[in-house]
Structure 1
Amino acid sequence: MTILNAEGKPTPHITLGEPFEILLGGVAEAPIEDVVFSLAIWAGGGGAGYLLDSMQIDSDLPTSYPAGPMALRIRFDPNLFAPGLLSLDINAHGRQVRDRIPGVARIYVEHSSDATRQTAGMIFYPCQWSLGRGDG
């Protein structure tokens, strides 16, 4: 598994709002049929909060593959994850395979800065501030 930033460079760090890709590579020793690959993303480095579960069938990709090397790309554009540490699990299940690799990788989403004024992935609650004089 490789995490690629917006420039296509491998990194475990991305900035808030930066598009990124996860590249999953492997080799099928024999043809596989009816397999579903999935990616789960957890907040806080794992177990703190379940954020996402996505499968290759969500994008209408096939469930059968010939023997040999293969690669799946998962693109996040826009990247709406809030700042902090994310933990990734990958899964494969079907008639011929059942595999789960928890905590296979971690991504750190860096905070926004005053210079960029990025706010993607942040929750803004419906509150209104006002300024008065006097009684506090």
Structure 2
Amino acid sequence: MSVSLAAGQEALVAALTGGAPVPAGFDARLVGVARQALLRKRGGVVARHWPMLAAGHGAEWITVFAEWADGRPTNGSLRDGWDFARARGVRGAGAEEELARREAAWVYDGVHEPRPRRMPALRRTPGMVFVQFGGRIFSRRR
């Protein structure tokens, strides 16, 4: 593969997934349509990993997520959902519990890959308490 072809492909992928400018020689409208389709698909994948987060936004989930994700390269659906929840907040008790359960079980600083917690952890929501101890999550309604 020639260097110019590889550079053109790299620029196209950056335009489609990271919000970079559309490279010369490509139809900006069509690249925009493809970018929106990829953002909607990405929102669907995140919804499978974060069902309560998506449910809290109802029918507007795909639109709200796509607006947030536009210009942000993906870090995988687990991290995308986590980053979205921290940036935009969560709607509904189910989404609060979903996020609290994840934060009790995993360490995620927003930069590095999430990793399982080694030390005990406690996370609370208005209706639940989550305790992670010995790699297991225990929950209790308040």
Could you tell me the TM-score, scaled by structure 2's length? Answer: 0.27
The structure with the greater share of residues assigned to strand is 1
Higher RCO by CA contacts (8 Å cutoff, separation 6 or greater): 1
The structure with the greater share of residues assigned to helix is 2
